[in-house]
Structure 1
Amino acid sequence: MGSHYLEGALAPVHEELTLTDLKITGTLPDHLDGRYLRNGPNPIGEVDPATYHWFMGDGMVHGIRLRDGRAEWYRNRWVRGPVAARRLGEPEPPAPGAAGFDVVGPNTSVIGHAGRTIALIEGGLAPYELDDELGTVGACDFGGTLSGGYTAHPKHDPVTGELHAVSYSFARGNRVQYSVIDVLGRARRTVDIQVTGSPMMHDFSLTEKHVVFYDLPVTFDARKAVPSAVPAPLAAPARLVMDALIGRVRVPDPIAARAVTSGGTGLPYSWNPRYPARIGVMPREGGDADVRWFEVEPCYVFHPLNAYDDGDTIVLDVVRHPRMFATDPLGPNEGATTLDRWTVDPRAGKVIESRLDDRFQEFPRVDERRTGHRHRYGYAVQIREGVAPDDTLLKHDLDRGTTLTRSFGHGKGAGEFVFEPSTPEGAEDDGLLLGLVSDLPSGTTDLMVLDAATLETVAAVHIPARVPAGFHGNWVAG
């Protein structure tokens, strides 16, 4: 039996390419000097479709270098941690050590910070630094200032340039870690926050004054972490031991790594209807004792669009899933998503939930100059069941309550689009949107460069190769 997480737009590619002097339709604006980078899972070698979890594929970063109106190259490279190198038959690099443990190479996002390119993943796994041509430099622990893994979704503060993050791992027990990485690439602040149990906290929100934690009912599942090689009479006691450890003590990283990789069934997280759904609000300079918790309807959020302070309230725009990993343990396939607004009212002690758009969508992005500040526009990709890419990009005008759409045509699969302003001082939609659109029948891909105001094509960079549907990317200037 096949897996739709290994087919069609999600099917992996099997070789690394370097393609130069790519053809372009239209004209690339002169200010586009840098690299468009995107990360995603791409398993090395054969995998078992019955147990393959989409989130557990080996990380592969794709990049297109733009300069002086030209597309100089396209590259795709697996991130070489010890496990990936072993699968590729290459010499193993040093283990990531304090940076986190290595199960799959970072496969979720890729950013630029402090002059470095960093491939990201979550759950206690190690991020890795890449060179300018996507070769692996090594595990990243931010100059020895941060241990135990990082997150896939840090946020740049547009005022200070610092990188804020919330990291989770079942090795942390019942705590998540808020961190601030300074502009030199070193952690200047880390704060442990106690949560209900051991949740999968994929993302968080940042405002001018607050950090927001999403403590929602997708939690560590000891049944998936106990290796299948454990004899049946011992499996139940082993699960009890794992359950007892989670939330009480920190599990050493080597133990955690063995639990996940020694015959378990992929991602060790699942829907937990007994877990309370809530969000936590902490002042930016606060600590664990300063967090206030507010109940929300049970659901799951992978990706907030943005958040901001509005007088005494806090506004959170999020893509809401009704649940996650409840009936499909191998990927995000649990019903229609919606774009919702949650307004936190600290005085009333409650969250007001409302619907902004009911189209099935994901991968929301905002002009990152507006991160933590009031925004008008948001961009998302319309998707089909199982988070397979559709051919339509959405631009939400949240002031007017309208949505502009752009269809790329039948047989096309659109990935996440990122916003790049035309000038640093330009208006919120005065800029470009960059994203990959695959043509499934021809097995080719275009980097589409769109006018953010109209969603019309400014230019298209033609890549004579298929780029599988993946997760997140960014424009890295310079």
Structure 2
Amino acid sequence: MATPYRGGFTPATEEITAYDLPVTGRVPAELNGRYLRNGPNPLGLDDPGAAHLFLGAGMVHGVRLRDGRAEWYRNRWVRNADVAGRLGEQPRSVLAHEGMDFSPNTHVIGVAGRTYATMEAGALPYELGYELETLGPCDFDGGLPGGYAAHTHLDPVSGELHAMAYYFGWDHHQHIVLDAKGTVIHTRDIPIADKPMMHDFALTGRYVVLYDLPVTFSMPHAERGSPMPYAWNEEHGSRVGLLSRATGEIRWVEIEPCWVFHTLNAYDDGAQVVVDVVSYPKRFVDARLDLGGEPSLDRWRIDPATGTASRTRLDDRAQEFPRMDERRTGRPYRYGYTAAARDLVDVIYPGDAELEDLPDEAFDNTLIKHDLARGTQQQRQFGRGAYVGEPVFVPAGDAEDDGYVLSFVNNPDRGAADLVILPAQDFTGDPVAVVHLPARVPLGFHGSWVAD
């Protein structure tokens, strides 16, 4: 079977538990919690998700920090029924939306003292224990009408957690709000034609910002057995929806055709709305991920009164996985962090290319800090072959950039990964600490710092 899981994406083959990890430098004492990251990691070539990078069984990697020490590293598969069976275990539960029981592989978040692995397109989240053991699928005590979402955004003022769910069997998308206790307090259906994919969205003080873009469910591709039957649809326009958090009314504004996986942040600016995103010219061309052009960091300025939108290029380098100080979610902010992505189309989905034949530079070794007020960037490069994952900001003081940037970085000299802790205010300087893990961490998707 052809598989894109090669090079830096080569799956881990076993679950590991290691204690008292060696550290170069000093782990900041205020970092008390777990750094967690999810990603697809099929169990073998016979895994149903082995043929597509987005569909492998989820594996969560975690490092527990406390009192200046790196107490443990764990990696655990998220045990849906199929994974549990392959590991010789009993399923945790038969709870599923529309019979779909996926091993969530996209994100891992903390909500009200609990931990959830998440995935989109109608799948339910799975709850994990503190040490990453699978507890089972979750519908938030019956509060979910259907599936959930990969990405969520927490309002730091209200404590509400917002999500946008979609499913190819629906004629709508669904806005879901949890309160600070993790209880579903609100759902609203938003009718949308053609069953588009909406991987992420944005949140401001006044609005939930929806992306209705030209990647839609494709029945012809589904009938041909495409493992992920979504495709660029020239007949489907591009627009942004401003869903009023106060009234539930929605204002749609047309934008230039593009595709967005991820939001950096958004905020209200007077009567207008600013949305910063990583934008592609196209994606999923003929249901392929390796066509459609490279991504850039863009700013949309939307005027709901006139129904117009403008776009400004913030940085034209290929980059992905944008993150920021989430205490500023939905509010004006200054700093953002991304992972540079040279040759991104080959890295995400190699197509006919053999990943082992690509140069090491195909897996970029660079993190970028954006100063959006000055329009400048700083680069933090690691060694050759040291492919680096998503940068996660962890606050340590009141200032927006007073904190640390955490990321898993491949260490080619050891053949294993490091958890690198960078000082955000000295981004190009030496790391505060480097936690040496006992194994390689494959390139994956999204993670979180979950404080105790």
Structure 2 length normalisation: TM-score? 0.93
The 8 Å contact of residues 101 and 126 in structure 1, kept in 2 or not, is answered as: no
Q: Deviation of residue 34 (structure 1)?
A: 0.4
1:472 aligns with 2:446: yes
> Take 1:213 and 1:328, find their aligned partners in 2: how far apart are those partners?
22
Give the fraction of aligned pairs with identical amino acids, expressed as a percent: 53
1:68 alignment counterpart: 67
1:215-234 counterparts in 2 under 5 A? 215-226=212-223
> Take 1:358 and 1:111, find their aligned partners in 2: how far apart are those partners?
30
3-state SS in 2 of match to 1:171: coil
The 8 Å contact of residues 82 and 102 in structure 1, kept in 2 or not, is answered as: no
Q: Deviation of residue 133 (structure 1)?
A: 0.3
> Take 1:104 and 1:343, find their aligned partners in 2: how far apart are those partners?
37
One-letter code of the match for 1:188? I
Which is richer in helix?
A: 1
Q: Deviation of residue 286 (structure 1)?
A: 2.8
> Take 2:330 and 2:48, find their aligned partners in 1: how far apart are those partners?
40
1:294 alignment counterpart: 253
Q: In the alignment, which of 234, 241, 245 is matched to residue 273 of structure 1?
A: 234
Deviation per residue, 1:419-465 (Å, 9 max, x gap): 11113xx1110111111001246421000100011213110000121
2:393 alignment counterpart: 419
The 8 Å contact of residues 51 and 265 in structure 1, kept in 2 or not, is answered as: no
One-letter code of the match for 1:473? G
1:109-188 counterparts in 2 under 5 A? 109-172=107-170, 174-188=171-185
> Take 1:110 and 1:446, find their aligned partners in 2: how far apart are those partners?
19
Q: Deviation of residue 332 (structure 1)?
A: 5.4
2:298 alignment counterpart: 340
Deviation per residue, 1:57-83 (Å, 9 max, x gap): 100000000011111111000001112
1:431 aligns with 2:390: no
1:246 alignment counterpart: none
2:277 alignment counterpart: 318
Deviation per residue, 1:67-101 (Å, 9 max, x gap): 11111111000001112212333222321235x64
3-state SS in 2 of match to 1:85: helix
> Take 2:184 and 2:93, find their aligned partners in 1: how far apart are those partners?
23
Q: Deviation of residue 346 (structure 1)?
A: 1.6
The 8 Å contact of residues 108 and 121 in structure 1, kept in 2 or not, is answered as: yes
One-letter code of the match for 1:110? V
1:453-464 counterparts in 2 under 5 A? 453-455=425-427, 456=429, 457-464=431-438
1:2-401 counterparts in 2 under 5 A? 2-3=2-3, 5-47=4-46, 52-98=51-97, 101-172=99-170, 174-226=171-223, 264-287=225-248, 290-326=249-285, 329=288, 331=289, 333-384=291-342, 385-386=344-345, 387=347, 389-401=363-375
1:251 alignment counterpart: none
> Take 2:129 and 2:423, find their aligned partners in 1: how far apart are those partners?
30
> Take 2:255 and 2:311, find their aligned partners in 1: how far apart are those partners?
8
> Take 2:49 and 2:141, find their aligned partners in 1: how far apart are those partners?
40
The 8 Å contact of residues 121 and 167 in structure 2, kept in 1 or not, is answered as: yes
Change in Cα spacing, 1:118 to 1:48, as seen in structure 2 (3 Å) is: closer
The 8 Å contact of residues 301 and 310 in structure 2, kept in 1 or not, is answered as: yes
The 8 Å contact of residues 205 and 212 in structure 1, kept in 2 or not, is answered as: yes
Q: Deviation of residue 2 (structure 1)?
A: 5.0
The 8 Å contact of residues 42 and 50 in structure 2, kept in 1 or not, is answered as: no
One-letter code of the match for 1:450? L
Q: Deviation of residue 322 (structure 1)?
A: 1.1
3-state SS in 1 of match to 2:22: strand
The 8 Å contact of residues 279 and 294 in structure 1, kept in 2 or not, is answered as: yes
Change in Cα spacing, 1:102 to 1:19, as seen in structure 2 (3 Å) is: farther
3-state SS in 1 of match to 2:51: coil
> Take 2:34 and 2:49, find their aligned partners in 1: how far apart are those partners?
36
